[in-house]
Amino acid sequence: MKKHFFFLLIAIISSKMSAMVTTASRSAMRSISFYLFRFDLRIRDNSALIAAVQRSKKEDYFIPIYCFDDKTNSQTPFSATKSSPERTQFLIESVASLKGGMSSSGTQLMVGVGDTAEYLSGLLSKVQDSGEELGDIKVFCQEEFCGEELKVNRSVERAIKAFNQKRGHPNPTDGSSIVTSIWGSSLYELEDAPFDANSAPTVMTQFRTKMEKNCAIPNCVETFGRGHVCGGIPEALKGEGDKELPGLKDLGFDETELSQPDERAAFNFKGGEENALARVQEYIFDLDLLKTYFETRNGLIGANFSTKFSPFLAVGSVSPRYIAHQCKKYEAERVANKSTYWVIFELTVRDFCRYFAKRFGDKIFQLDGILGREARGRHPNSIRWSYNPTLVEAWKEGTTGYPFVDANMRELKATGYMSNRGRQNVASFLALDMNQDWRYGGYWFEEKLLDYDIYSNYVSWIMAAGMTGGRVNKFNVVKQGKDYDPKGEYVKLWCPELENVPVGKIMEPWRMSKDEQKEAGCILGVNYPNPVVQMKVFQKRDGGGKDGYKAERKKKNKEKYKGGKYSIRE
């Protein structure tokens, strides 16, 4: 009996020692922390990146990666592609800049093309095939909250779990996630907001008031540098980090599709963090333009009527906090006025769109927005949407017969840029004058805009269409043109066929007589189109005041809006 007990004891001790050796060997393994870049392509003031480093062990491998979507030229259901060659080229330039910044910081950016989960799995397999045993695998990224981005997170998590299972490494059993999303790229910090993210205000004025009253703009975090690289890059991946970036052809585009810069373009945008920082320095300090921003921001021609920060913000080559603190620095050193505040205010608008999207997710892409079934007749903003391919195409091509709309749409197509004033007008025109499914506009902007940002774009579109349930701002595109382009200079720049139209009729060429058309060399229906739709006229309701406005078509149109709170923007 004692003999059996002795052998049992030996077996138990042996088993425990084996387990201790296994645990020790696992603890000696190098873990990997990946950082997945998406819309934060910078090393300066990247709060999510720095937070990821701080959550990683000092001895971890820390591997930054970026994966290009190879389907950006694929068609959406709304007659657009996911990106244009111009915006894709801007993105390539931005990633190239990030790669250089990472290299100067002592690490390598791994750049892939195609499915992110597959690319990441391939990197892990290379390390495993080299004979190196890996410890835990973690993935960090900036928090995004719409379907495509969340789908990537889930597929990455599944891929790593499958890799762990294949190599006999345990997956988390405590319910913790392999992929950790970290809030970033906003002006304000999420946790500082005086409301839960699921109850964020849906009206910008309320959002701004609450944030400005209760929150301070956080300081910028330190720049990613050599002290943040943890354990470096596995030897097996150093060759991967040396690979050249893909070109347009690798991403599905014919390089001949990339248009030459248009001499009429407001600004010649080049991607990259260094170009973003240079533009901030130039606009605010070198040219000393910040002090007059409020007065010039509705301009239409030239580089400096507005900041031109938006494309850099869209890909994350510069942070909104960095811009805000540069504005504060300017206020301290030079002058503080409405203009210096207004740039920060517009960054707050950008935050509003992010908080809105976090609360409502993919509803910002849906026809009825956040109204859902209420938009089918039960809500005052209800609209019976239609889709006429001819009308939508005229809007895209800038051939609607409304010069202010056409000029803006032609600028967008030729340059990838349009002023904020223009965006509000063309969106209002498509949704409220043409009565077309606004998603055709949203996806066209997604394809063409260099500064396309998921949240700002689609939240702005559902607001323009009235699908947030708030007040609808209907723009009178004729009067807006007269107010902001009084001499017709912008219209003539992009619609040269109207060059000789009298200034008094430049926004309404249909008012020209036959003789005037001949004299101007602009025959309607020949040189320039007749209006494709009758613009709606908005009239006050009986009693006016708080009841808002009721939109009506002119008598020739049978269809009318019913109810609805509208504010006419003359």
pLDDT of 543 reads: 31
Task: Provide the pLDDT for residue 90.
Answer: 97
- For the chain, how far is it from start to end, CA to CA, in angstroms? 101
Residue 363 identity: K
Whether the Cβ atoms of residue 438 and residue 447 lie closer than 8 Å to each other: no
Q: Name the DSSP letter for residue 337.
A: S
Tens-digit pLDDT profile for the chain (570 aa)?
444 544 444 444 444 444 443 443 444 689 999 999 999 999 999 999 999 999 999 999 999 999 999 888 888 999 999 999 999 999 999 999 999 999 999 999 999 999 999 999 999 999 999 999 999 999 999 999 999 999 999 999 999 999 999 999 999 988 889 999 999 999 999 999 999 999 999 999 999 999 999 999 999 999 999 999 999 999 999 999 999 999 999 999 988 888 889 999 999 999 999 999 999 999 999 999 999 999 999 999 999 999 999 999 999 999 999 999 999 999 999 999 999 999 999 999 999 999 999 999 999 999 999 999 999 999 999 999 999 999 999 999 999 999 999 999 999 999 999 999 999 999 999 999 999 999 999 999 999 999 999 999 999 999 999 999 999 999 999 999 999 999 999 999 999 999 999 999 999 999 999 999 999 999 999 999 999 999 987 544 333 333 333 333 333 333 333 333 444 345
| Lookup: tokens for 333 | 């050193």
Known binding residues are 293, 306-310, 451-453
d(CA 155, CA 150): 9
- Measured CA to CA, the distance from residue 340 to residue 371 in angstroms comes to 36
Q: Do domains 28-185 and 186-218+273-360 have the same CATH topology?
A: no
Which strand (E) or helix (H) includes residue 494?
Answer: helix 489-494
DSSP state of 224: P
Picking from 183, 189, 116, the residue whose alpha carbon sits closest to that of residue 143 is 183
| Beta carbons of 344 and 207 less than 8 angstroms apart | no
Burial of 208 (0-12, 13-18, 19+ CB in 10 A): middle
Instruction: Give every CB contact of residue 76 below 8 A, 6+ residues apart in sequence.
Output: 82, 443, 446
Rounded CA separation 530/539 (Å): 25
- For domain 366-569, say whether CATH 1.10.579.10 is its number: yes
- What is the three-state SS of 33-55? EEEECCCCCCCCCCHHHHHHHHH
φ and ψ at 179, to 5 degrees?
Answer: -95, 125
**CB proximity list for 461: less than 8 A, separation 6 or greater:** 427, 431, 438, 439, 441, 442, 445
Indicate the length of the chain as a whole number. 570
The vertex-28 CA angle with 156 and 32, nearest 5°, equals 20
Q: Do the Cβ atoms of 568 and 551 come closer than 8 Å?
A: no
pLDDT of residue 28: 63
pTM of the model: 0.90
Please state, in angstroms and rounded to a whole number, the distance separating the CA atoms of residues 352 and 373.
24
What is the predicted pLDDT for the residue at 566?
Answer: 40
- Give every CB contact of residue 483 below 8 A, 6+ residues apart in sequence: 570
pLDDT at 350: 98
The sign of the torsion formed by the CA atoms of 301, 305, 309, 314 equals negative
pLDDT at residue number 555: 36
The alpha-helical segments, DSSP class H, found in 60-146 are 85-104, 116-129
* CATH number of this structure's domain 28-185, picked from the four choices 3.40.190.10, 2.60.40.1190, 3.40.630.10, 3.40.50.620: 3.40.50.620
The two structure tokens encoding residue 532: 């494709």
Amino acid (1-letter code) at residue 223 = T
Residue 313 CB partners (closer than 8 Å, separation 6+): 320, 323, 350, 451, 453
Domain ranges for the chain: 28-185, 186-218+273-360, 366-569
Domain spanning 186-218+273-360, CATH architecture? Alpha Horseshoe (1.25)
User: Which amino acids are annotated as binding site for FAD, given as ranges?
Assistant: 293, 306-310, 451-453
